[in-house]
Every structure is written in C-alpha cells, then in structure tokens.
Amino acid sequence: MSVFVVTRSAAYAGAISVFGCCLLLTGCSSGGHVISGSTSNPTSAAGAALAQQGPELGFLWSSSEQSLRPILGVTGASQFGPPVVEAGTYLAAGASARSGEAILEDKSGEVSLMSVPGGTPIPLSGVHLTGTAQFVFSPSGANAVVFVPGQSTVFLLMGLESSPQAPGVQALSGGVALAAVAVSDTGQVVAASGSGPTTLTLLTGNGAPVASLGGLGGIAFLPGGSDLLAMDTVNGVLRLIPGSAISGGAGGSIAGGGSVAQSFTSSAFRAPFAVAASQDGRTAVVANGADSSVVRVDLTNATGPMRIPCTCKVDRLTPLAGNAVFALSGPGAAPAWMVDASTSLPRTLFIPAMVNPMVKP
C-alpha cells in the first residue's frame, strides 16, 4: 500500500511538494515531485461570481452533469447554485465546507486542488489515478486523502488552508485493497481493508493494526484529535476508539473491546454504510443502507440513539456547514436531502432540484 504526502502553501499559488513513500500492510519505494500552479483547468464564470454572493452550506458533486454544485443559503432555506467548474470536465470531485477547498479528478486521472467557489484549479503533477477516486477530508478540512477503492495507493494532502507540513510516512505491509480511508485533523490516516471481516490499519505513525470489524459500516475521526468512530455492520456496534489506542497501535478487536473507550448499540442500525461526527465531537450520525434513515448517537450518553427517517434514498453522509448538518443525497432532477442532527428534534430538509442542469459536452 502506498501513501504520498502532499503539502501546499497558505497562498495556494506556490509550488506544492509531494513526498512519496510506500505503505505496506502485512515494505517501499520513495520519490519526490514538484507541483506547480497552472491555469489550464476551467473554472466556470458562475463559480467566480459566486465568490461575491452570500452564505454557502457546502458543495456537492453532480454525477449527472459531472460538475460541482454549491448549496446556497442556510439550513432550511437553501438551493443549488450554478456549477463552479464546467460540466463534463472532471470525473469526480469533493469539497470541504469547513476549509472551502476542493479536490478534482479529470478524465485523464490527473488531480487538481481548487479554492471554491471562485478559485483556479491547480494540477498536482506526479499524482495520477487509474479509476474514479474518493475524497475524504478531515473534520476541519485542513487535511484530506485521495484514493481509488479496490486499489492500494493513498494520497495524503496536508495543510490545505495553512502552512505546509510534511510529517514522515512509515512503510507498512503490502498490497491490500482499500475499502475506506479516514484522515484526522492531526494527520493520522486509518485504512479499512477486507470485503467481509475488515481490518483497520494505521497508515501513519507505527503502522500497526487498529481494530478488526465483523463488517465495515463506516469509519471517521472526531474533530481536533485522533479519536476514531468505527461502525461494525455485522455486530451492530458503533465503537469510539481513543486516539491513544490508535497512535499506540493497541486498539484491539472491535468485537472484543481491547482499548475501546465506548460502544453504542441500537436496533435502529440497519445495514449502516457510513458514519460521521459533529463539529463539537459530541454527536455521531450513522447512515443506514437498509432503509431511508440515519441514526443520531449521543457520544456523551445523555440520550439514547435516535432514528431519523428521510423521504429519500440515503446514499452519502457529507458534512455541510453547521455543527451536525450532513447531505444525504446529491443534486439531480429530484430534490436532494440533508439532515440537521444538532437540535433536540433533528429534522431532514430538502434542497430543490437543480434548475437548468448543465449538459455534459
């Protein structure tokens, strides 16, 4: 398994360095690249104009038009704005509502960084993908990982909104297909591998196994540190693994406890596939795959888990602006949906369908 660390300057326009190091799961090549700015990738005129407008809840990828759409407005009164990049130019993209940074993959497999909504995409030379990537940001949006599910390479992007940092990346044991990856605000990276029973492995630090799951129902870090949420879809247990156990490589088995600090069970967990944390670190939200719902979990144990139904097909759990606000579906011909789980009476809210969707060239 390979990990490449990418850093960028606060101004974003300077050179960006990539330090390559091989991560193996059960050895290692290394290399370096210099990534320089370019204005060759298109930003839509509408995207530049959006930079002068009002509040935004975040940005979501529209698979139908292959573009990144802003959610304009506030929770409960929002709509999709025009694409911030030209439709059909990119294969995939993701953005952080916290840092205002986006990562884009074009159809040739090249990756670019972009400040949204009105920035210019800056290609990362030497970062090439073969397949449709997934983009996962740390809770603050300062760090991110880019990977193609089923492959073994992870690109770790550091300092997306501040001075660049280049921590050492340790070689682990090798060649395991990635099912999911999570990155923390402190730069820790945990990967999940396995199509049934799942192993969670630390890709930074000492490279030790963190935990094992009966089945993968999602992983995510809490903000500000390296405490990790891990959902076991087979055993129906959400575990909170403390950062001390992760950095020390002593997380133990999820099913058996080990150094796990807390566990949460509920009959409301129904084939979960994703988990995320609120910005204050007090709440987790689990997305169910067996029905149209999510589950709010109070990590302080003051209240029990609460199922929140949605008049939608829940296909994602993307953090938006707000303490515990997440997109549950994406832009398209039908309304998209979000959940606000930050109040005592959580609610799902719709975002009107896209107006005049762009046509892919």
Least Cα distance to 191 among 158, 234, 148 occurs for 148
- Out of 92-106, 235-249, 338-352, pick the least confident: 235-249
Residue 47: its pLDDT value, please?
Answer: 52
Report the C-alpha gap between 191 and 198 in whole angstroms: 10
In the chain, what are the domain boundaries? 1-175
Give residue-wise pLDDT tens across range 44-67: 555 555 555 679 999 999 998 999
pLDDT single digits (tens) 246-264: 875 444 433 333 445 799 9
d(CA 4, CA 2): 7
Q: What mean pLDDT comes out for the span 115-131?
A: 86
Strand order in the sheet with 198-202: 178-183, 189-193, 198-202, 209-213
Q: Give 148's strand partners.
A: none
Tell me the two tokens of residue 158: 């550091």
Question: Chain-centre distance of CA 94, in angstroms?
Answer: 8
User: In this model, does residue 215 exceed pLDDT 90?
Assistant: yes
Q: Is the pLDDT of residue 16 over 60?
A: no
pLDDT, residue 256, reads 38
Cα 189 to Cα 226: distance, rounded to the nearest angstrom: 9
Question: Which of 63-67, 136-140, 150-154, 193-197 has maximum average pLDDT?
Answer: 136-140
Are 152 and 1 within 8 A, CB to CB? yes
Question: What pLDDT sits at residue 358?
Answer: 61
Quickly state the pLDDT bin for 242 (edges 50, 70, 90).
very high
Residue 339 has φ and ψ, to the nearest 5°, of -125, 135
- What confidence tens digit (pLDDT) does each residue in 64-114 have? 899 999 999 999 999 999 999 999 999 999 999 999 999 999 999 998 989
pTM, to two decimals: 0.84
- Band (pLDDT 50/70/90 cuts) for residue 245 is confident
**Inter-residue contact 51 to 43 (CB < 8 Å):** no
* pLDDT of 318 higher than 60: yes
Q: Let me know how many helices (H) and strands (E) the chain has, helices first.
A: 2, 29
Q: Name residue, tokens 């094992």.
A: 212
pLDDT for the residue numbered 52 = 52
Q: Mean of the per-residue pLDDT values for the chain?
A: 81
- Residues 22-40 pLDDT 10s: 333 333 333 332 233 333 4
**8 A C-beta contact, residue 324 and residue 49:** no
* CA atoms of 73 and 254, how far apart (whole Å): 40
Percent of the chain with pLDDT over 70: 75
Give the chain's radius of gyration (CA, Å).
19
Distance between CA atoms of residues 176 and 159, nearest Å:
27
Query: Which residues partner with 151 through β-bridges?
Result: none
pLDDT tens for 148-169 read 999 888 888 888 876 433 333 3
Q: How far is CA 304 from the centre of its chain?
A: 26
- State the Cα–Cα distance between residues 303 and 360, nearest whole angstrom: 47
> What pLDDT, on a 0 to 100 scale, did the predictor assign at position 182?
95
Task: Tell me: pLDDT of 11 over 80.
Answer: no
Do you know the residue count of the chain? 361
**Which pLDDT value is given to residue 249?**
47
- Sign, Cα dihedral of 81, 278, 271, 207: positive
DSSP assignment of 314-358, as one string? ----EE-SSSSEEE-S--SSS-EEEEE-SSSS-EEEEEPPPSSPP
Look at residue 10 and tell me whether its pLDDT is greater than 60: no
Q: Tokens 């059960």, residue?
A: 26
Strands 153-158 and 2-7: parallel
